[in-house]
Structure 1
């Protein structure tokens, strides 16, 4: 557990997990709107077991990182990620970004391609301005309403249940045990709720993000992962994102919702690990 400073002096919180076996390249994890790094717990474990140093950071505006008064952009958050890498002395890393974190990951790879070994983009998009066919307004409204509710004094178990119902498929939500890893990860995240100002500024950065016209210039290899039952960002957005990135791989997860790291942990991590190993060895999956 540690802090560093962004370019504007804002404190940035991050956690670094050393590998449980022979060290491989580092993996940077970037989370979505209003969510802090604690929700990555189910994904951290298999990445560490595979030998990767795992870095999970709290984006500005949430968790233990600072909350500026002025708005910011996904490019600012990409620069924040570089500040964390610099603090750790990591020159090059694999990057896994989910939802808004996937947008930040795109900006990171576009602005600092020399720092990114490969890119895994989950349940994300090239931006909301592309239209309702690729990002549903209803889905965005539901996520924002859910996030706003987390700043209200509601019992934690109720908050966890609401989060799961809004972000994973109905079948998985109905069977997720309250003492299971998925429930505990969401509970740990919600124990440190995002303040309303941070949530609004992160929302503004997400709404303003648009990389559709630039993702064709991505230099690192990219794996796009998306669930067919995602209620927030439809699978069509993931397919379009992969189509616009030269030689990108696309993994469709049938029946999966928005929070792939909670619902399909093993499936997405094993595919990501195979993809990253292939990139490290210079071969393709």
Structure 2
């Protein structure tokens, strides 16, 4: 290549790169309104953003992977926890975790109910922004675990790494294995069960640990205090998935004003077969 050819190549490649950059910029701006959920920015969302900055939440938390890494990323927290849980948690975090035992150092911000409601509205808006999977990591929570197939014990559950990837299509079980199918539902449903529940004994998160849940379910169904309609363990587990407020487990950590913090959407989002498979899977944790 002589000097003239090199010059023409440099000029041509610069023009091509500039055109590509301009086209991508225009396309990005064209998609911003839909991707950013801009049509749902309300005065409450705007005020909630101001509350977020006023309380320096970003000094500990991250949104879209930006911020401090001292505390969990909150990009999808509204979908994973739900508004009732977040409102109760923000009123008094100490009711949910023991700082000495869990090392939860979330301070009580003494926000008003209006500020809390608007902050939750802001986090809900953030959770619905199409961030195309970024950041590519789950929320960090104490004791998170991933389920395993086969006969399960507390020791086995505790030994499983929380970072195990979901099974690929080639490893999907047949429809004759409801427990294995239930495990896949447990690991892939949205919001993920592992966002709120651990399989490690004693590692209570937003929801109670599911280690030994079948044994507890039998005790609850047999108790005169039980207020639901289930007759057996799997029926109770199915009821807990589809109608979480049918029977409330005592304790401020899991409910408020007679409503469970467990999302009430799984009854619509899951098919009856998926609920049955998930119940069969959970019933194996005795």
The structure with the greater share of residues assigned to strand is 1
Q: TM-score, normalised by structure 2?
A: 0.29
Greater RCO, 1 or 2 (C-alpha within 8 Å, sep 6+)? 1
